[in-house]
Homo-oligomer: A and B are copies of this chain.
């Protein structure tokens, strides 16, 4: 029997969730909720079988719904998710899980108490490219990881309630949480709003890890070109991940540098290795399709989602520390786990 889903929020992202839940054989789209009558009209045209609501609390009273997917502004995630869990619905919530870690913790506890699935929509984790990178790292092909450097910039929609970090950096923090087996211990961040009474539209953050690993993110709503790329450098291989590239999103370079520390003449110590490049194929399934099926599987078999509540909480904790560091012009702030 298929799991009936209600979508709350049918703006930019909601229609993608709706389409994927409609197409997934294990789920059915039962309802759509949005404040805007115009948005509901579009939903009606594309999904004539779904009930329509303008009030999400009313929708939660629909006993036929097994689960909800929340795609509303960040500031509303906590309250909607909380009431949904209380109403006995499994919950998929858009990233970030909540606006602070206290809220995130409450949702985790409530879901555990009720025995319900709580999953965060960290979409990139479900792409074939990111899963391929995780596998390359897990298999030891990359060696010891030296750094992760990401640039995620474009002329983006200025959000009113969150800054560019909560909008864009969250993607990289989710990817890092998934592909690395280390957690960051401190962050130094800088950022700037260029417009009166607006949150930061550009930000940079460096994450420090227990090992020599360093991660750096550049997120920016005010760039003339769209860039979605990351460098991952390890002792054995280096990866260039370019999400804009249509065909070869992942390139693996058999390139590096080694030092011979025993030698006493410094010129001879450094050995450069410039080797072949290799662009592996990977699963091209739409990320949301993979994610929606995973959500359905987790509900059906009481499995823990890959991007579960604690994962969402870890990302929120880093964002909180980052906000504090930006206020202090880069002074490092510890990330407490």
Q: Are A281 and B275 in contact (CB under 8 A)?
A: yes
Q: Which bracket fits the contact residues of A?
A: 35 or more
Cβ-closest chain B residue relative to A194 = B146
CB closest chain-B residue, reference A160: B266
A246 in the interface, Cβ–Cβ < 8 Å? yes
Contact yes or no, A233 B238, CB < 8 A: no
Chain B residue with minimal CB distance to A273?
B155
Binding site for B on A (CB under 8 A): 22, 45-46, 48, 146-147, 149, 151, 153, 155, 157-158, 160, 186, 188-198, 202, 204, 206, 208, 212, 214, 216, 218, 220-226, 231, 233, 238-240, 244, 246-248, 251, 253, 255-257, 259, 261, 266, 270, 272, 274-281, 325, 328-332
A193's nearest neighbour on chain B, judged by CB, is: B212
Please, could you name 6 A-B residue pairs with CB atoms under 8 Å apart, sorted by A? Answer: A190-B216, A208-B329, A218-B218, A221-B257, A330-B332, A331-B332
Protomer copies: 4
A151 / chain B contacts, CB cutoff of 8 Å: 151
Q: Contact between A257 and B329 (Cβ–Cβ < 8 Å)?
A: no
Q: Nearest Cβ distance between residue A132 and chain B, in whole angstroms? A: 11
